[in-house]
Amino acid sequence: MSDTLEPMIHEDQLPGSEKKLDPKPHWEPRYPGSGRLTDKVALITGADSGIGRAVAALFAREGADVAILYLCEHEDAAKTRQIVEQEGRRAITVAGDVGDKAFCERAVRQAVDQLGRLDVLVNNAAEQHHDDEIRDITEDQLKRTFQTNIFGYFFMVQAARPH
């Protein structure tokens, strides 16, 4: 078995598409921005939906350009990009697995190259494998959870720290 596990991707598992949810999560900013992040650049993992999308929308409203990192939900990421751009800010989308150290390094480099700098890192990407019985959670599921939720956060900080 490899040290880095492949994402378990199909709709009955992870990551899932926000556009298919009913009811939809609330992400819309409810206040005018005050410019607190004017001309800053934020990299947000898991920014294609949910909390990550809300953070991207609010950071853009506050004046930040945003690198939207996500695993594989391209339509959701495109929607988040559209939201950021509607706030008058620049956005890029970068697909990949934060549990892969090399991806984290490439993503940070792409954000800096395309957006000019990096001021804020939001480690938001996470996964969990729900089961009614803890004994049913497999070793692969547990390893995959730690690969994303622990190693991914560490790898992103390592990659972003020099900036």
Give the H/E segment covering residue 66: strand 65-70
Residue 65 pLDDT class (50, 70, 90 cuts): very high
pLDDT for the residue 2: 46
Is residue 4 scored above 80 in pLDDT?
no
Contact 98, 148 (CB under 8 A): yes
For residues 47 and 25, is the Cβ–Cβ distance under 8 A? no
- How large is the average pLDDT for residues 122-126? 96
Candidates 48, 80, 88; CA nearest to 64 is 88
What topology is assigned to 31-160 in CATH? Rossmann fold (3.40.50)
pTM summary value: 0.83
Task: Report the range of poorest mean pLDDT among 19-23, 40-44, 63-67, 126-130.
Answer: 19-23
Q: Please name the residue ranges forming H helices in the chain.
A: 50-61, 74-86, 101-115, 139-146, 152-160
Among 21, 19, 81, smallest CA distance to 56 is for 81
The rounded percent of the chain whose pLDDT value lies above 90 is 74
Environment class of 31 (CB within 10 Å of its CB; exposed 0-12, middle 13-18, buried 19+): exposed
| Structure confidence at residue 21 (pLDDT) | 62
When comparing pLDDT for 135 and 4, which is higher? 135
> What pLDDT shows up at residue 34?
86
CB neighbours of residue 119 within 10 Å: 15
Q: What is the pLDDT of residues 94-116, one digit of tens each?
A: 999 999 999 999 999 999 999 99
What's the whole-number mean pLDDT along residues 65-88? 96
- Largest Cα–Cα distance of the chain, in whole Å? 50
CA angle 30, 35, 38 (to 5 degrees): 125
- In the prediction, which pLDDT does 6 show? 53
